[in-house]
């Protein structure tokens, strides 16, 4: 006896969508991504006091301020400082961007600096090594998960 069955591909099942839980909004909004650029929030003031040193060092590193007209989706604070009146500023932080290549070079520089410092510390540590009581330099970590009850 032959049954008339539909192909399983033709069957559809309504997916049940789990209700999203409320979460507090993020303090800093995420800008719409741009190809080839990385975004970064730079401190322009702390407790109402301008932080010109931090801003100038970040600008020298290659970060360029983002204009408010380029990202209308982000509400910007009213800014008293004339230097930043056309830029995106939220809570004393100014949105800046830099080319991805520059950010990668900066990251590599600091990784190399950290590695050379760790090598220097290791060499100093091993200089103090005594065969009667050897020092161990084991920096490997292991993640284990407990058994839930």
Task: Tell me phi and psi for residue 38, to 5 degrees.
Answer: -115, 140
pTM over the 0.85 mark = no
pLDDT number for residue 17 = 67
Apex 115 CA angle, 112 and 120, nearest 5: 125
pLDDT value at residue 59: 93
Top pLDDT among 34 and 81 is at 34
Using the predicted structure, report yes or no on whether residue 51 has a pLDDT greater than 70: yes
Statement: residue 13 has pLDDT above 70: no
Instruction: Grade residue 81 by pLDDT with cuts at 50, 70 and 90.
Output: low
Q: What is the mean pLDDT of the chain?
A: 82
More confident residue, 125 or 134: 125
Residue 114 above 90 pLDDT?
Answer: yes
Higher pLDDT: 66 or 78? It is 66
Is the pLDDT assigned to residue 50 strictly greater than 80?
A: yes
What is the pLDDT, as a whole number, of residue 21?
Answer: 86
pLDDT in tens, 92-111: 899 999 999 999 999 999 99
Task: Output b/e per residue, 41-79; b: 16+ Cβ within 10 A.
Answer: bbebbeeeebeeeebeebeeeebebbebeebeebebeeb
Phi/psi of residue 5, each to 5°? -120, 145
Residues of the chain with pLDDT > 90, as a percent, come to: 32
């Amino acid at each position: 006896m032959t049954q008339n069955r539909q192909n399983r591909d033709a069957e559809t099942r309504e997916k049940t969508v789990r209700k999203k839980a409320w979460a507090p909004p993020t303090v800093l909004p995420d800008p719409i991504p741009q190809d080839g650029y990385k975004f970064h929030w730079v401190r322009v003031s702390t407790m109402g006091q301008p932080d010109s040193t931090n801003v100038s060092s970040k600008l020298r590193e290659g970060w360029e301020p983002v204009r408010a007209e380029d990202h209308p989706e982000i509400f910007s604070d009213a800014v008293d400082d004339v230097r930043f009146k056309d830029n995106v500023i939220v809570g004393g932080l100014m949105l800046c961007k830099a080319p991805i290549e520059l950010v990668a070079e900066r990251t590599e520089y600091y990784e190399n600096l950290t590695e050379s410092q760790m090598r220097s510390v290791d060499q100093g540590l091993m200089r103090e090594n005594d065969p009667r009581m050897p020092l161990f330099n084991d920096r490997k970590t292991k993640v284990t998960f407990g058994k839930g009850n």
